[in-house]
Structure 1
């Protein structure tokens, strides 16, 4: 194996568009990557992406490449790449269930659907502890803030997903949950020492390692008390070689988070990224944006070896690890071939996901709750930010919401609110109905939501915290509060059943609040 091939095998790349066109084929020939990551920009539909992946794998084989790792960010909750997949509860919703068997069900749904389409790597689960309520990028993507509970969930997700034949990726090592900065935008700094890291952030990653996780993705986060150079974990020999390999005993693939993120690309040139990354122990450099950047990355790897700054054996060692993961995929698929690609699979999974969601919904101040099925008329107030998110599922959002509630309540007035909303009309409508359901969606980052709540508070019957659970701490009264930890068409249907009293809210809040609330 020559240097050109080995350098390419250390790259996983993205691409733009829906087809394997001549430019894409040329780049695959030139780069020789170990794999690809797909995004929403590559997926027209399920039949389309299944055909596309098959064509790509066939072409890779034709030009002499090993079977490609084909990855997707399919965490569930707020992170999904196509509305055609079964909508899944967020990790934090699963944490609220407290039931590892539900994590197993979700991992099985995700794995079955990914496998039948041709994906063999999932960039999940998130193993971060969301210890900072103001974290702008992790939040609902985390199972919670308790190291022991999160470790159990991470382990169950990893073992289930990989038993199906889709390799798991625990992320973002050694933790992105205690940051105030989004690493897509700048470099976060976490000022904790190794003792606290071992007692807290590293436990879920150790659980993933013990579950034989195939890949671990690094965080673009600096831990200056652990690596005094200030290098982000992605480029830190101390964090990757000494802690991840040495202390935790991980022997699988270490993959970077996307290198175009500003925490990396805004501070280091490609030569520095490659030099530090290779020395730190990265096995795969992930570059998702454009072909020129991918080609530049490969050239930098080759140049780094030819100049003598790193030894070529580092590249060969990475290739051996990549081949080991390919072998694991092949073995698992031999034991568990993909299911038949049919609408039946997805219908079954949607029903299961809805049932799982019922077990995640949490009720606070439940003694004051009265089911809405006994009401004749209601006003529903939903932030426009939540409407925008729900529109990603390719539904008529108004029809979806009115349809779900309208099965049990005869008269419904629906407002999607923001600062431009007609406050007088909202107040007038709220006064003339039997009840008001007030939704918040990450109100800790949007002051207006609570400003409006204070205006209509006396008329509100039920509050639904549909995003981050920390909104609860902004609500200064004892009205019943339901927490859903995210919302999708299936969990909305489950929520309506709970609001009507047909099902009980069974979840428990998986993060700590500053004050006590009655369940």
Structure 2
């Protein structure tokens, strides 16, 4: 592994002030000097953040997954860096990058080694989506923490700050220095298919407080936080991965709702902001997505909100940004709009050459490119990557998934579980009166790092609390035969715990719950994702909301069911009535407890 002196030498002239990792804008002279020695292709490369398939920087064990790269002879992260000099790498899940902590740390060091070996070698900014809850790219044995809406239900900014500090500390130990979190979207649309529980809630001031707290927690761990998805993705019924959402808010409503958490993030000194692939006619009437909108990114974000940090696009392979323009135009238009980092275009060769061509032909000036490259270099310097690009692989086990972090995750989760119904005081259950439990219901694909399907995790946790709990998965769309088998199994137990996942009026899951209720057995529903499920369950005596189905949230729900802890969560979103969405079934802040 290159020494610190070799690393600094590879950067060809970066001064000791940058090497300390304390460089501010006063040290831009050194950064600008470095920038002046870079070739145009090197500058273009610094603007891209790409997936690098495989668990090693040099071994192409899984690189053939990405056909776009293998077609041009790039099989590994090292080859990707050598050819395109990319400034950032994004990690994805176990199948792609994140097998175990030591492997991730070795991958990070291999990526840095490959980049620093290039002429004017620069450290790479390694990023990931570690939101926790429903979206986690680094799984167990790393610490899995409650998701954003769960933290919103807990209502504690201190908890949000603690979560980010723990998450950031573990990410940094793995060589990941930019997290695409927190989600700053205000989720005011129960039908939102892409944000939902990834948001802290529906109250803009509450969301703003949580966002600022997480930014502070990541800063304390020297990891760059990323507020997303500007200008706000919380009121959509379209997933921008597959379509082109339109936000119909007036300018005044946008300012009072969507903008509030982003203003808070900027005041907190957030290092990066991610754009959303959505149209906001009140901010830009051109019909372009925000990612490609100069009025939104330069006019509003940089001009009105005063943000001068790094702007990164959401993934450029998403349909929301590809609707109007070809893949060769999107990266150029994004840079013209005010973007600094281009995340994962569908073809790096097409995107990289398009930007290079735009500069050479005068559509983009090199000065405009330099603005963005300078912001990338500033962030790398601020994070100390020039001085310390490598992680200590032998120390990973002393940081990642340690007992203190896991215990804190359980404590955080205990403050988030929300009791939405408890007719007749059915909860808590006791092993003395309800010794035999059937845990049945939906088992969606689990977030990274869960130890098994939700029914199994919940059953195991309840068994550990003195019950005899049997798990039976029905899936998210159970057939009539599966439902009948589950109902038959309920005949041999004292009570049933049923997990629900995104219930609708015609969902087979709803049929399952109704059939279980008809047996006369006590039924406890656990909404393992959206708290809105309660609206579809008017006759269920007891219902909990966990806001996600990771182990930590399900274990907390089990302790609430068993009465080991009192439910303390409060709804961070209102729940509309099932028969009339204009009416509120449970208001913002609603939540029951035991003994009150």
Q: TM-score range by the shorter chain?
A: over 0.9
Q: 2:349 aligns with which of 284, 295, 300?
A: 295
Unaligned runs of 5+ in 2: 1-37, 59-73, 577-583
Aligned residues: 512
Q: Contact between 1:381 and 1:415, CA under 8 Å: does it hold in 2?
A: yes
Greater displacement, 234-243 / 65-74 = 65-74
Secondary structure at 2:396 match in 1: coil
Deviation track 1:357-379 (CA, whole Å, cap 9, x = no partner) reads: 00000112345333222312222
Contact between 1:442 and 1:471, CA under 8 Å: does it hold in 2?
A: yes
Alignment equivalent of 1:322, drawn from 369, 376, 392:
376
Larger mean CA deviation between 203-212 and 183-192 belongs to 183-192
Match of 2:288 in 1: 231
Q: Deviations over 1:157-184 (max 9, x none)?
A: 0011012110011000001111111111
What are the Cα deviations for residues 224-263 of structure 1, in whole angstroms up to 9, with x where unaligned?
A: 2321111000000111011100111101011111101112
Structure 1 residue 415, shift from structure 2 partner:
2.0
Say whether the 8 Å CA contact 1:129–1:143 is kept in structure 2: yes
Q: Which residue number in structure 2 is paired with residue 271 of structure 1?
A: 328
Query: Does the CA-based 8 Å contact 2:439-2:455 persist in structure 1?
Result: no
TM-score, scaled to structure 1: 0.93
Partner residue of 1:512?
A: 574
Q: Deviations for 1:184-215, whole angstroms, at most 9, x for unmatched residues?
A: 11111111221111010010001000011111
1:402/1:470 Cα in 2 relative to 1: closer, same or farther (>3 Å)?
closer
User: 1:198-237 counterparts in 2 under 5 A?
Assistant: 198-237=255-294
Which of 81, 101, 104 matches 1:46? Answer: 101
Mapped to 1, the partners of 2:202 and 2:387 lie a distance apart of 34
Q: State whether residues 457 and 551 of structure 2, in contact with CA within 8 Å, keep that contact through their aligned partners in structure 1.
A: yes
Checking the alignment, whether the CA contact within 8 Å between 1:165 and 1:332 is kept in structure 2 is: no
Q: Report matched runs for 1:355-370 at 5 Å.
A: 355-366=411-422, 368-370=425-427
Partner of 1:378: 437
Question: Are the aligned partners of 1:36 and 1:70 in contact in 2 as well (CA < 8 Å)?
Answer: yes
The CA deviation at 1:270 is 2.8
Is 1:82 aligned to residue 138 of structure 2?
yes
User: Are 1:353 and 2:409 counterparts?
Assistant: yes
Distance 1:445 1:155, change over 3 A: farther
Deviation above 6 Å: which 4+ runs of structure 1?
Answer: 331-334
Do residues 412 (structure 1) and 449 (structure 2) align?
A: no
Partner of 1:68: 124
Shift of 1:455: 1.9
- Please report how far the alpha carbon of residue 110 of structure 1 lies from its aligned counterpart in structure 2 after TM superposition: 0.6
* Residues 110 and 344 of structure 1, relative CA distance in 2, 3 Å threshold: closer
Partner of 1:341: 396
Partners of 2:192 and 2:254 in 1: how far apart?
17
> What is the deviation of 1:411?
3.7
Deviation at 1:507, TM superposition (A): 0.5
Deviation of the 1:98 alpha carbon: 0.3
Residue pair 2:101, 2:400 contacting (<8 A) in 1 also: no
Q: Which deviates more from structure 2 when the two are superposed, residues 243-252 or residues 295-304?
A: 295-304
Q: Say if 2:369 is the partner of 1:307.
A: no
Match 2:90 to one of 37, 43, 48: 37
Q: How does 1:167-182 map to 2 (within 5 A)?
A: 167-182=224-239
Quote the residue 1:18 is aligned against.
55
Partner of 1:112: helix, strand, or coil?
helix
**What is the alpha-carbon distance in structure 2 between the residues aligned to residue 182 and residue 344 of structure 1?**
36
Change (3 A) 1:460 1:450: farther
8 Å Cα contact 1:238-1:280 kept in structure 2 = yes
Aligned equivalents of 1:318, 1:220: Cα separation in 2: 20
Mapped partners of 2:92, 2:493: distance in 1: 44
Is the CA contact (8 Å cut-off) linking 1:14 and 1:288 kept in structure 2?
A: no
Shift of 1:390: 6.5
1:503 pairs with 2:557: no
Instruction: Report the CA distance shift for 1:510/1:411 in structure 2 as closer, same or farther (over 3 A).
Output: same
Question: In structure 2, how many angstroms separate the alpha carbons of the residues matched to 1:288 and 1:62?
Answer: 25
Structure with the higher fraction of residues in helix conformation: 1
| 1:454 aligned residue | 514
Distance 1:283 1:393 in 2: 34
Q: What is the aligned partner in structure 1 of residue 304 from structure 2?
A: 247
Task: Tell me the SS of whatever aligns to 1:330.
Answer: coil
Question: What CA RMSD, in Å, does the superposition of the two structures yield over aligned residues?
Answer: 2.3
Q: Is the 8 A contact 2:128 2:178 kept in 1?
A: yes
**Would you say the 8 A contact 2:170–2:399 is kept in 1?**
no
Partner deviation per Cα, 1:128-158 (whole Å, 9 max, x = no partner): 0111111111111100010000000000000
Distance 1:298 1:370, change over 3 A: closer
Structure 1 residues 134 and 73, CA, compared in 2 at 3 Å: closer, same or farther? same
2:525 corresponds to: 463
Q: 2:176 aligns with which of 112, 119, 124?
A: 119
Q: Are 2:45 and 1:8 aligned?
A: yes
Q: Distance in 2 between matches of 1:31 and 1:422?
A: 52
> By how many angstroms is 1:464 displaced?
1.0
Q: CA deviation at 1:310?
A: 2.0
Q: Distance in 1 between matches of 2:386 and 2:270?
A: 14
Contact 1:37 1:288 in 2 (8 A): no
Report how far residue 392 of structure 1 moved: 5.4
- Tell me whether 1:58 sits opposite 2:113 in the alignment: yes
**In 1: Cα distance, 2:482 partner to 2:340 partner:** 55
Shift of 1:15: 1.6
Q: Which runs of 5+ in 1 are unaligned?
A: none
**In structure 2, C-alpha distance between the alignment counterparts of 1:257 and 1:215, rounded to whole Å:** 12
Q: CA, structure 1 residues 390+200, in 2 after alignment: closer, same or farther (shift >3 Å)? A: closer
Matches within 5 A, 1:391-402: 393-395=450-452, 400-402=457-459
Q: d(CA) in 2 for partners of 1:397 and 1:280? A: 43
